[in-house]
Each structure stands twice: as structure tokens, then as C-alpha cells.
Chain A
Amino acid sequence: MFCVQCEHTIRTPQGDAGCSYARGMCGKTGEVSDLQDMLVHLLQAVSTYAVAARKLGIVDAEIDNYAPQAFFSTLTNVNFDADRIIDFSRRAEAYRNDLRRRYEAACAAQGVTPEALPPAAHYKLPDAKTVMLSDALQFALNRQKKEVGEDVIGLRLLCLYGLKGAAAYMEHARVLGQTDAEVAGKYHEFMAFLGTQPTDMGALFQCAMDIGKLNYRIMAMLDKGETETFGHPEPTRVNTVPVKGKAILVSGHDLHDLELILQQSEGKGINVFTHGEMLPAHAYPAFKKYPHLVGNYGTAWQNQQKEFAAFPGSIVMTSNCIIDPNVGQYGARIFTRSIVGWPGVTHIDDNDFSAAIDAALEQPGFTEDAAPVYTTTGFARNALMGAAPAVIEQVKAGNIKHFFLIGGCDGDKSERTYFTDLAKAVPQDALVLTLACGKFRFNTLEFGEINGIPRFLDIGQCNDAYSAIQLALALADAFECGVNELPLSLVLSWFEQKAIVVLLTLLSLGIKDIRVGPTAPGFLTPNLVGVLNQQFGLRLISNVEDDLKEMLAA
């Protein structure tokens, strides 16, 4: 195996990065990793034919939806089940063959000579897993490192991992009925391009920026899907401690699944808790009508083996992040959905959550109410826009001098205490905006207000970076300046590929001087980090004191 897509990847003291042994740091086996490489290869073949077919007017919505969904299964902490990865691959091959047949028929009908597509587009999936694994050697992402150099490999991976994050958001949007043939076409173009094993660094860099731009559109689609389906989030206080009674915990990003669970568990004496990235759900009007949605349990994903083990009910993982449920022995009461998978864990394929509900009823539930501890969420696009005039007024009056966006994915490295320390250290005349699961490092701290405006504003999930961008644009408009001239500092924590594509989006919008941490992605070489620093002022976090001084002086 070779996998370097997450922040947790193995790094040697000599600076080499990447999981390349029998198991990755996420727990993914070498076998699953290799099969995922093979799936990615097949999905590139699908996209190669999708691009060719589109030129002849063939657009297949089913395939357009499937391709990013299957790609999402290879994201960090999503699917660890070899059999399901093979199933995804077989379906990808079938779609590729179907597109090829229709493309060749269209060529014949229109008197067009079929394009000479690269040999990789014709790969035939073997019957036996052993042969697949032997073939997988050819699909290793670092295979050509000696020939093309580590900078080219690094740029390819920046694009591939960024596109993977964008594919995940496409799938989240699709679940809410938001699809766009043009967006799908661009996805296929990028995927097909990466399938050609490009070596032109300029073209790869441009591809990375274009993926960032595409993701801006996708985040807008997702925002539309969420707000049209569930209403605009409103600032909402959420209890973060146990409530007495039977319990179901819903984790991941998929609000649609949460709604189904709330509907199906209604009147059964079960309390529903959100976990991790599901916390912002409490702020959507559509969920406020469910009194049995009682709070949020636990913190960020990396603590789940301890927190889920202690949760006295059932757990549903609607999307990433899942980690080994056998640690903590809760494998029998956790359920996966959609593209999520873990060998031996019950997968809910249709919209019937009765298995998870029954499992919750069999568990003891919480025996006591804990004294409430609250966090506030729901400062998404509309709430922020509604507050913008008051915020602008306070800025003009000199009461708000700086904005910090501190957010992104959490992880278990000790260096991540930086983000807590930074949130605590920002001056009292500054606002702290946050999003994604990185917030759990500081979202129960007391930040207070500035003349009625809360100093701590939880925007929502990672994809709600879209809302943060809207606020920044509104402020820039009000102050008649560019976003980079605003007293706004972005400090992002990253772990997986959604964070990568959000970063690409910000860079593609021209936003500069972003700080990222706790470490640079393992696939970015020092040269590439240097280029990003030169072009965008992108830099790694150092220490809170120095960084804060620099950010406030900017």
C-alpha cells in the first residue's frame, strides 16, 4: 500500500511520508488501500469515457451521480470494507463499458472517428481478488516517483485529494437533490486529466486551482440543498451532556439521514443525539420540531473509540469519520450508511433505520440527566448576513478590531492544542468564527459578547466555509476593500481531503496569508510548500504568541 492522504500518515524522522506497510495509520489494511487505488483507476476510466461521450451529447445523470459517490468511499475514514470496494469497482467498470458502447455507437452514427483513449481507460477488472491485488501495484499513486520526481507526484496528489473532497461534497449535495450536469462534466474532466498521469506542473497547478473553483460551486449547491430542505440555520444553544433515556447517536454530515432517524424514532422513547459534524443540525428550523433531538454527545471523531464505547445506545455513521469499532467493543451497536463501511458492521442500505432503533432500545440508555453544558451553533450564511450590519457598525466604532476564522478538521496530534490556545488568546476586541469538527477544541469555552454580538460564532460543518466566504465578501463590500485587506485571519486545521479542497477553494478565490496546521500535508514537498507560500502567503502555524502578533499586525 501507499497512502499519504491524511494528516495522520506515517512520517519518518528523515521526513519521508506515507503509509506503506501492512496497515495505514487510519487502520486501513494494505489490501483495502490497494483496492481503493484500483477503484480510483477505474473511476478515472469512467470519467475518460464520460468526457469523450459528452462531446457527442451523451450525458448520463446516473453515472454522473455514481462516480463522485464511489470516489467518496476512498476518502479517509470512510470505507474499510474490501468487498464493498470491489462492488464499487465492478459497478464502475460496468458504467465505463456502457459509456464506451454508447460512445462508439454515437461515433459510428455521426461518422466520427473514436478518440484514441489511453490504455488505462480500457482496464479489465479481474475476477479474482488476488489478481486485482497484483494489478493494483500498477495503480499505486507514487509509482512513477523516480521517473517524474516528487514535485509532480505531490501536485498530482494535491489535485486528486482535492477532487476527492469535492466529490464528497457533490455526494452530500446529491442526497439533498442538488445536482448539476455542468459541475459533473468538470468533475469528469479533472478526473480524466489526472488519469493521464500528467507531468506538466503548470497544468497540474492550474488543475488544483480549477478544482478549488469548482468546489465553490459545489458548496453553494450544498448550501442551497440544506437551506431549501431544512431552512436557514438560526443561532441555537445545544446541550452537550447526557440526557436520561434510551439513546441514538447520529454522526457524520448527512442531515437527510438525521431527519429519517428522527421521524422513525418519534414516540418510541428514544432521545437522539448528534455527534461531531452533525452538531450544526440543531440550528436548522426543520429539526427544531423534534423534541427528542436532545443534544450533542461527544467531541471530534478521533475520540470516538472512547466516547462511543461509553455511549449507552446505538450509533449511526452517515458519512466520515469511522474508526475501528472493535476497539471499545461497540461493533454490534454501530451502523453504517451510504458509502461508509466497516467489515462486520451492519450496513443500512435502504431508508429503514429500524435496526438502529431496535439496538438503541436494547441498550440501557442514560440513567441520569447531567447538569447542562451548552454550546451555541447556527451562525451560518443568513444569520451572519443578518448580523453583518451590526458587526460593521461595531467595526466602524472601533469595538471590533479583528476577525479570526479558526476551524477545520480535528485530529489526535498533541500539537493541535495550538488551536485551543489560539482561541483563548485572541484579544477581547476580536471575533472568533469557527466551523467543522476542529471547533470541539474550544466550543464550550466562554467567549462573551461585544455589545450584543457573540464573540464566538459557530458557522457549521466544514462545507459551511461557503457561509464564511459570504460574510468575508459582505464585509469587504461594506468596507470597500478586498477580502485580503480585511482585518481577517484564517487559521485552518486539516486532517483529510475535504479540508484540502476547502483550502484550494480559498486559494482559488485569491485569499492570502492563510495559516494551516498542525503539519504540512505529507504529499506536499518543501518545493511545493514554498510555491504556495510565495504565491498565496500560505504558511504553517508556528506558536500562538508569534502567530498572533503577526496576524494582528497585518
Chain B
Amino acid sequence: MNAIAEHHLFWQGETPLTCISRTEETHDTATFELAAPSAQFFDFLPGQFVSVGAAIDGKTLWRAYSISSSPTRPETLSITVKRVAGGRVSNWLLDNVQPGVELPALAPAGDFALRPDDVAGSVALFSSGCGITPMMSMTRWLLENRADTEIHFFHSARSEDDFIFRQELRAMAEAHANLKLHLFLTQPQGRMSCHHGRLDAGRVQSLLPEGAGIRAYLCGQEHYMDSVSDWLCAAGVPESAIHRENFAPVAADVSVGVPVSAERFSLNVPAFGKTAEIAEGELLLDVLEREGLPIIGACRTGVCGSCKCKVAAGEVDSGSALPLTPEEIEAGYVLACSSVAKGDLVIEL
């Protein structure tokens, strides 16, 4: 029945991918190279992410990870995963996945990506920590396909030991004159040349080339992206040329584990006459489902928007708002699969 099989993988819901290699990038980070069934090719944009499932305690937990490989090597797809305190899926992947292990995955998605038909002549990449993963995919792709594009790669990490892709990235910068690497380490160990301390407005101003047409891509913690965004605007980069990865898979992953000591808030859904308890760090979707309320979690990774609900009162921390329109966000809509409570909540379904 493979008469109409195509060379490229046709994603249809969950697709089993097989880990074919594992590379330890740092003391707490590894890259998993995944292959599709029947050696089919992957089709994605540099910068996009893929949702991966992990069977933990009889339940499949889904998390999204930026793809770190380039679509120019479509035989495999790589994700790079960092160990985080309380991160159930990330830590499970690091503890359990070796070559030969199969993982269910959903189709690559996300708007934080380079469009091959619309690449700027000058690109600035800003990342911190494991926010480097989509930048790596973009850089690999740009170097192979856009030799005339200037890449200004600003990366912030704590130390050399925490610098993911340090060897490959430095080798690429040496080999390609159009790649300018600006590394910022807060605790440098003296083994490689870098800027000491944090990135700041002045450094952005001085290191960023002058002239119109630069396009910036930001991935990291929210406050990091807020600051970089402000500095870029101050440096004359128009807001429309600044693209942020609004997805924070690590935050969502951490939220799964709820310590016994976690603070408890009340969750009220007046339309259904339901009041429940939600723990600090507990996913809103998990609680709504547990209480038998009508909500659909289709992708469970902040991509599809099926679990959209309105926060009528209270505050949440959201790891993703990808499918929501600015009007919906303004009106208080959040994604239950990517949100945790910061206090008592009133939710409208």
C-alpha cells in the first residue's frame, strides 16, 4: 500500500520518529537526531518547532522543542534539549532517549521562522541559554543558502561550559566571513574570547551594523527579549523588523511538576457552577480536564488554539500565545495548555 507514498513525510497527527543519534552538547544539554518512518524527508522552515510526546507514568505528555537542524538536511530533524529543574519531559528525554528509541511527534509549526522567499540582506540573531536552538537552524540554513546575507549572532550564556553548540558555532564563524559571532558570558572561564557580562543597550548599539534593512530574531526568556527589543528600537530598528519567539517550552515543561508545598489558588468557572483548586505551577488545562469541564486539548503544546479560554479575573503566566490574535490577548484569552495560575482565577469557557 505504498504506491502513493511520497518522498517527504506526510504528517498526519502523531507520527513516530526514531532517535538515530544523541550528542551531548554540554553537561546538561543533548541533541537528539530523529528520523521519520520509511526514511522519508522532513519539510520545515528554519526556526520552527516540533511537538514531541513522552510517555510518563502512563500518560503522554507533549512539549514543543525548536528544531536545531537545517531543512537543507531533510533526512533527519534534530531537537536540542536542556535539563531544567522540575522539567518532566525535558528531563525524561535526557534520561531515557538513546538511539533506537521511538518518540511520537506532531508536525513542525510556528511563525518564528525564516521564509526562504523573504530573507533580509542582514540578519541579527539574539538568543540566551537554550534559546539558541532555533538560531542554530537559521544559521545553518543561511550559511548553506544565502552566502550574501550578513549574520550577526548575539548569544548570551553563563559560561563556556553552558554555551550550547560552542564548537560548531565557533568553527562556522571562522569558516564564514558573513557570520559575526558575539558571545556574552556572565561567568567566563577564560578559554575562549567573549564579551564579559551581559548584553546591554550600548553593546547592541555599537556591535549592530548601521543601515536600514536589518531584521532581528529573538529567542530567550521573556525579560531578555523585552530588553533586546527595547535596545533594538533605540538603535533604530523598526518594530516590524523585530521577530520574537513567543513560545517558551521550558516554562510549560517546568509547570508540570507540582510540588506538595506549592501554593494553592481557587479556580472558578461560573458558567458551569464549578470551583476547584489549582496549584502554583499546575497547568490550567490539566485542572479544567480533571474537573470535567468542556475543553479540548488538541495539541497540548500551545500551537493549535483548541484550549483557548478567557481569564475573567486573576492572572496567569503563559508560555505560548501563538494562535491567539492581538484582540483575543487584549480581551483576556489564554491557552489553557500553556498557562499556570499566579493567583485565584475566574475562567470563562
Contacts and interface: CB of A to CB of B under 8 A. Distances in A.
Contacts of B248: none
A22 B272 contact: no
Contact of B294 (A10, A119, A140, A305): A305
Contacts of B324: 13
Contacts of A264: none
Interface in B53-102: 62
A137 B271 CA distance: 40
Which of A2, A22, A306, A326 gathers most chain B CB within 10 Å? A22
A414 B1 CA distance: 44
A518 to B, nearest CB: 16
B4 A138 contact: yes
A2 B15 CA distance: 13
A21 B12 contact: no
Interface string A24-62: 111100100110000000000000000000000000000
A13 B325 contact: yes
B178 interface: no
A85 to B, nearest CB: 15
A324 B297 CA distance: 13
Interface residues of B, number: 30
A386 to B, nearest CB: 43
B323 interface: yes
Nearest to B60: A22
B183 to A, nearest CB: 34
B55 to A, nearest CB: 13
B303 interface: yes
B296 A22 contact: no
Contacts, number: 79
Contacts of B28: none
B292 interface: yes
Given A25-B306, A306-B272, A20 B294 contact: no
B106 A2 contact: no
Contacts of A326: 292
A10 B306 CA distance: 7
B107 A20 contact: yes
A27 B300 CA distance: 13
A22 B294 contact: no
Contacts of B305: 10-12
Contact of A22 (B4, B106, B292): B106
A354 interface: no
A10 B307 CA distance: 10
Nearest to B323: A12
B12 A34 contact: yes
Interface string B96-134: 000000000011000100000000000000000000000
Interface string B291-311: 011101111100111100000
A25 B297 CA distance: 8
Interface in B298-332: 298-300, 303-306, 323-325
A123 B298 contact: no
Contacts of B226: none
B3 interface: yes
A19 interface: yes
Contact of B292 (A1, A136, A327): A327
B292 A13 contact: no
Majority-rule SS of A interface residues: loop
B223 to A, nearest CB: 25
Contact of A2 (B1, B12, B304, B323): B12
Nearest to B328: A13
A26 B296 CA distance: 8
B14 interface: yes
B6 to A, nearest CB: 8
Contact of B3 (A34, A119, A329): A119
Interface residues of A, number: 35
A324 B294 contact: yes
A268 interface: no
A230 to B, nearest CB: 34
A21 B1 contact: no
B345 to A, nearest CB: 19
Nearest to A309: B272
A23 interface: yes
Contacts of B11: 20
Nearest to B106: A21
A1 B13 contact: yes
Contacts of A24: 296, 298
Contacts of B293: 327
Contacts of B304: 10, 12, 19, 21
A140 B298 contact: no
B298 A25 contact: yes
A22 B12 contact: no
A328 B1 contact: no
B292 A328 contact: yes
A104 interface: no
Contact of A21 (B3, B294, B298): B298
A379 B231 CA distance: 68
Contacts of B111: 14
Contacts of B106: 21-22
B13 A22 contact: yes
A21 B10 contact: no
B204 to A, nearest CB: 30
Contacts of A11: 305
Which of B3, B4, B325 gathers most chain A CB within 10 Å? B4
Contacts of B62: 22
A244 interface: no
A433 to B, nearest CB: 31
Contacts of A327: 292-294
B303 to A, nearest CB: 7
Given A13-B323, A140-B10, A23 B292 contact: no
Interface of B: 1, 3-5, 10-14, 62, 106-107, 111, 271-272, 292-294, 296-300, 303-306, 323-325
Given A21-B13, A135-B1, 4 more contacts: A10-B304, A22-B13, A22-B300, A33-B13
**Which 8 pairs between the two chains have the least Cβ-Cβ distance?**
A30-B13, A21-B299, A21-B298, A1-B13, A23-B298, A327-B294, A305-B294, A10-B304
18 contacts: A1-B12, A10-B304, A12-B305, A19-B298, A19-B306, A20-B12, A22-B14, A22-B299, A23-B297, A24-B298, A25-B306, A26-B296, A33-B13, A34-B12, A143-B4, A327-B292, A328-B294, A329-B292
Interface of A: 1-2, 10-14, 19-27, 30, 33-34, 119, 123, 135-138, 140, 143, 305-306, 323-324, 326-329
